Amino acid sequence: MAEQWIIRVQGKEYGPADLATLREWKADGRVLPANPARQADVNEAHWKRAGDIPGLFQVEPPPVQGPARNQRSAAYTQGSGEPKEISDQKSKSRPPSRNILIETFRIYFRGFFQFFCLSLLSIVPIVCAELTSRFIDTAPGVNVDLRSLVAVAFGLCMLVLRLVLIPIYIAGIQILTAEFATGHRIGFFSVLNAAVKYWPRVAGLGLFVYGVFFLLILFALGIAIMVVTSATLFSIVLALGLLAFQVWLFGRFFINVLFWQQFTVLENANTNEALRESRRLARSGRDLPWYQRPLWRGALIVSLWVAFVLAITITPAWPMLRDYFVELTRTQDPQALLQKMNASLQTHGVNYPVLALSILQRILQPLLGIAFVVLYLDSRQAE
């Protein structure tokens, strides 16, 4: 008789099911390698991963090998004339971030069509809102108040749609990357079907994480304004101290939520477990050099992405921003300057180069999610 298995998905158990049924569930995106599984005739305490079921998922090591642990042994490496600890130290000296970047691009190009389709979840609302707004603004014979109302209403609808689709996008990136990283292919609609099931959990935790980041940035900007506008030395020192404390809070929170997406989707963890395990994994690897630890590798990935976004965002608009800044320092009427800026934007209509760069950013944005999934798999392997 074929082995029967029980699969746990989002806290619910399904089965018993044989291997053929499990393969159908896998093809539909209902079973992931990280889902808990056990044999139907085995004690409930003996759970393992669905990826360990023979014949269901191909058993392969993660695509990026974790940094070698320092094995303190006097034994010599087979086939070499040097101690094993020296060989291990040499393997640890290779920067793993290069491997992660290479693997990230390999996965991205291998599944470009699926990742592009996921990117459309954010591209379509942005393009529709921008083009429709400009079309209504320039439409002849339309009452100004009416077309403004229509533009605002449609833009608000597109914003809500985009916010609703973000959790699906996040979950889809995790699922798709994990499948490609283990050597499997999965269809876009299967990914979409699996990602929708994670919407409540990803949406709730994402609202908390990004909401806290937004508040921290908002408070930091307020403190920075205090520094600029302060008139006394004491107020300047106080504001700088508050700003430093705010930066420290931002860094601490960044550490705690570094891998929240991966644990929420790939490990099917609830909110508390995802945050707790994310903090634990981010702080792991303390026996490794600092540049090989998950925290610093994650910070490097984020820094590279932020630098890229700033480059494609600020560069096209830099001449205009520079002119406005010069006028702002000279003008005596800031309100007139704002009216001039608004009139200039309406006169130029759609800025197609800026819109194209925004679309390019959305197309390449899956690289950030892929890199963190690869880093997560690598860090878990190294534990």
CA dihedral (186, 191, 193, 198) positive or negative: positive
Torsion angle in degrees (nearest 10) through CA of 164, 167, 168, 170: 140
Quickly state the pLDDT bin for 219 (edges 50, 70, 90).
Answer: confident
DSSP H or E segment with residue 96: helix 96-110
Confidence at residue 165, expressed as pLDDT on a 0 to 100 scale = 92
Q: Which residues pair with 76 in a beta bridge?
A: 83
Q: What's the average model confidence in pLDDT over 176-190?
A: 85
* Alpha carbons 197 and 22: distance in angstroms, whole number: 18
- Give me Rg for the CA atoms of the chain: 26
Is residue 16 reached through a cis peptide bond, with omega within 30 degrees of 0 on the bond before it? yes
Exposed / middle / buried, residue 227 (Cβ in 10 Å: 0-12, 13-18, 19+)? middle
Quote the percentage of the chain above a pLDDT of 90: 25
Quickly state the pLDDT bin for 20 (edges 50, 70, 90).
Answer: confident
* Alpha carbons 285 and 69: distance in angstroms, whole number: 10
pLDDT tens column, 271-311 = 888 999 999 999 988 888 888 889 999 999 999 999 998 88
Residue 221 has pLDDT above 70, yes or no: yes
- In the chain, where the domains are located: 5-52, 97-382
Quickly state the pLDDT bin for 43 (edges 50, 70, 90).
Answer: low
* Alpha carbons 286 and 311: distance in angstroms, whole number: 33
- In single-letter form, the type of residue at position 296 comes to W
Q: Which residues pair with 6 in a beta bridge?
A: 38
pLDDT tens column, 324-368 = 666 655 655 555 655 665 555 554 555 677 778 888 989 999 999
Confidence at residue 126, expressed as pLDDT on a 0 to 100 scale = 82
* Alpha carbons 212 and 252: distance in angstroms, whole number: 12
Residue 216 has pLDDT above 80, yes or no: yes
**Pair type for strands 12-17 and 36-39:** unpaired
Give the chain's mean pLDDT: 77
Torsions phi, psi for 49 (to 5 deg): -85, 150
Confidence at residue 271, expressed as pLDDT on a 0 to 100 scale = 87
pLDDT tens column, 61-77 = 444 444 433 433 333 33
* Alpha carbons 377 and 66: distance in angstroms, whole number: 9
* Alpha carbons 176 and 27: distance in angstroms, whole number: 12
CA dihedral (126, 132, 133, 134) positive or negative: positive
In this prediction the pTM is: 0.68
pLDDT tens column, 126-169 = 888 777 766 655 545 555 566 667 777 877 888 888 899 999 99
pLDDT tens column, 90-135 = 344 333 444 788 889 999 999 999 999 999 998 888 888 777 766 6
